[in-house]
Amino acid sequence: MRIVVAGSHGFIGSALLPRLRSAGHDVHVLVRHAQTRPEEIAWDPARGSLAPDALRGFDAVVNLAGTNPGTRPLTEARKRDVLASRVDTAGLLARRLATLDDGPRVLLQASGIGAYGDRGDTEVDETEPLGTTFFADVVRQWEAATEPAAAAGVRVAHLRTGVVLGAGGGALRPLWPILRAGLGGRLGSGRQYWSWITLDDEVRAIEHLLTADVAGPVNLVTRADRNADVVEALAQAVHRPARVPVPAFALRLALRDFASEVLGSVRAVPAALEASGFVPEHRDLPAAARWAAEQS
């Protein structure tokens, strides 16, 4: 397949590109600077700039672009950036795809399980309504921005990704040094569910969805375990204890609105992914934790 990827330098994108290329796909990347390599396509989502024929002749687009909300405090300005970075990119790509008769017929659009808000112990699949948190509203607008493409007959799948277990980025990036120092522990009560998937299975699932007949929301998770169990498994994988809990008030003070993503409970199940025939490599928490530790 001929595939265009946005967000190729991020945590997931940097793992996805080599996988797709090793599988024989012709992969181009969207970049926010002047084109310097044949595989690059210049664009500027904030200005709505993308050449009308830039996507012509490709089979699929994978859009992973978006500001990481966990790297800085979520001030009002940062919230606007988080939202705009998602809506601008998804909307621009969807509008371009809607105008092309010989363009990609598949759009795999990044999203997140923050869509559901805090659901406690209740299992949630893709049929559940969206929540009322800041991040749920971001997802609501993010996914809605792809409507022009869907209305034009493009198969659009929204990749509602959970906690990605891997090295070098994602939600666990600041946690690894703490765990290796033996200072890890549950976050808040530790009873909240974290829905997780390994980075390896994340990119395998994205590759699978390029051809699987799946549209709409897709929970990109393997399973959900309580936060205390996830942290304990990761600590055991690096042969350290996990006995230093972080109080909820400290997380709220440090992370502001992003604390809802850490302390909130989302027990997501991968109903659409399983129905499509996808089988993860790392199906249980200890195995996933060991794999992630080996990569870090």
Beta carbons within 10 angstroms of residue 281's beta carbon: 12
Question: With bands split at pLDDT 50, 70 and 90, how would you rate the model's confidence at 108?
Answer: very high
Residue type, 53: D
Give residue 71's pLDDT. Answer: 76
Number of domains in the chain: 1
Q: Global pTM?
A: 0.95
- What is the arithmetic mean of pLDDT over 272-295? 96
pLDDT tens digit sequence for 65-78:
999 887 777 889 99
Beta carbons within 10 angstroms of residue 10's beta carbon: 18
| Beta-bridge partners for 107 | 61, 156
**Cβ atoms of residues 158 and 109 within 8 Å:** yes
Query: Helix H segments across the chain?
Result: 13-22, 76-99, 134-144, 147-151, 175-180, 199-209, 227-237, 248-255, 259-263, 271-275, 285-295
Which CATH number characterizes residue 186's domain? 3.40.50.720
**Where in the sequence is the domain holding 228, given as residue range(s)?**
2-295
Lowest mean pLDDT among 46-55, 56-65, 131-140, 172-181: 172-181
The token pair at 90 is 């998804």
Residue 157 carries which DSSP code?
Answer: E
Rounded distance between C-alpha atoms, residue 202 and residue 278, angstroms = 11
In 3D space, the residue among 144, 105, 141, 110 whose CA is nearest the CA of residue 13 turns out to be: 110
> What 3-state class would DSSP assign to 220?
strand
